[in-house]
C-alpha cells in the first residue's frame, strides 16, 4: 500500500514513498536486483474503499471472510520507478536525469506477487478506484507538497 501520510522513514516504510523522497532529493534510490521483481501495488484509496465495502456489506456470506485488497495487476520495480520519475519530473525536470542504482538481490525476497481480487469483486462489489498510474499521480502530488 502507498499514498497520503505514509512516512518514508518509518520502520515499515514502503518502497514508493522511499523512492519518491530519494528522487525529490535528487538522489538515486536503490533497486535490489535487476528490477524485474513485481508487486501488486495498491493505493490507499483502494484500501479505504475495501474497508468501507466490508464494513457495510449486506451479503451475509461475506461476513467474517478475508479479502485481498489490491489492484489485481503486477508491475515490476523498473516500470514503477519509471512512472514515478515521469510524474515527479513535472515538478522538477532534474529528477528525470537521476540514475537508478542496482544493489544485490535481497535474500528471501519473493520475486513476484499478484493478488487475486476476484472474491472481493464477487462478494463485495469491489472494483479498485485507482490503478498504479492513477494512484501514483495522486500520491506524487501529496508527496511533493509534504517532502519538498
Residue 140 included in any domain: yes
Residue 107 included in any domain: yes
Report the domain count for the chain: 1
Residue 10 included in any domain: no
Residue 7 included in any domain: no
Instruction: Give the CA count within 13 Å in the CB-facing half-sphere of 21.
Output: 14
Query: What is the sign of the dihedral through the CA atoms of 68, 70, 71 and 73?
Result: negative
* CATH code at position 19: 3.40.50.720
What pLDDT is attached to residue 11? Answer: 59
What pLDDT is attached to residue 12? Answer: 56
Helices then strands, each counted (H, E), the chain? 5, 4
Average pLDDT of the segment spanning 119-141 = 97
pTM over 0.75: yes
Amino acid at each position: 500500500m502507498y499514498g497520503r501520510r505514509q512516512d518514508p522513514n518509518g520502520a515499515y516504510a514502503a518502497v514508493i514513498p522511499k523512492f519518491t523522497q530519494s528522487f525529490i532529493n535528487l538522489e538515486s534510490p536503490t533497486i535490489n536486483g535487476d528490477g524485474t521483481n513485481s508487486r501488486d501495488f495498491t493505493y490507499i484509496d483502494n484500501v479505504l474503499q475495501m474497508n468501507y465495502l466490508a464494513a457495510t456489506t449486506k451479503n451475509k456470506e461475506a461476513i467474517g471472510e478475508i479479502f485481498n485488497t489490491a489492484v489485481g495487476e503486477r508491475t515490476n520495480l523498473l516500470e514503477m520507478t519509471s512512472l514515478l520519475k515521469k510524474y515527479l519530473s513535472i515538478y522538477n525536470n532534474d529528477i528525470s536525469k537521476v540514475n537508478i542504482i542496482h544493489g544485490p538481490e535481497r535474500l528471501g525476497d519473493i520475486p513476484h506477487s499478484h493478488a487475486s481480487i476476484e472474491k472481493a469483486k464477487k462478494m463485495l462489489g469491489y472494483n479498485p478506484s485507482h490503478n498504479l498510474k492513477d494512484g501514483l499521480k495522486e500520491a506524487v502530488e501529496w508527496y511533493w507538497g509534504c517532502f519538498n
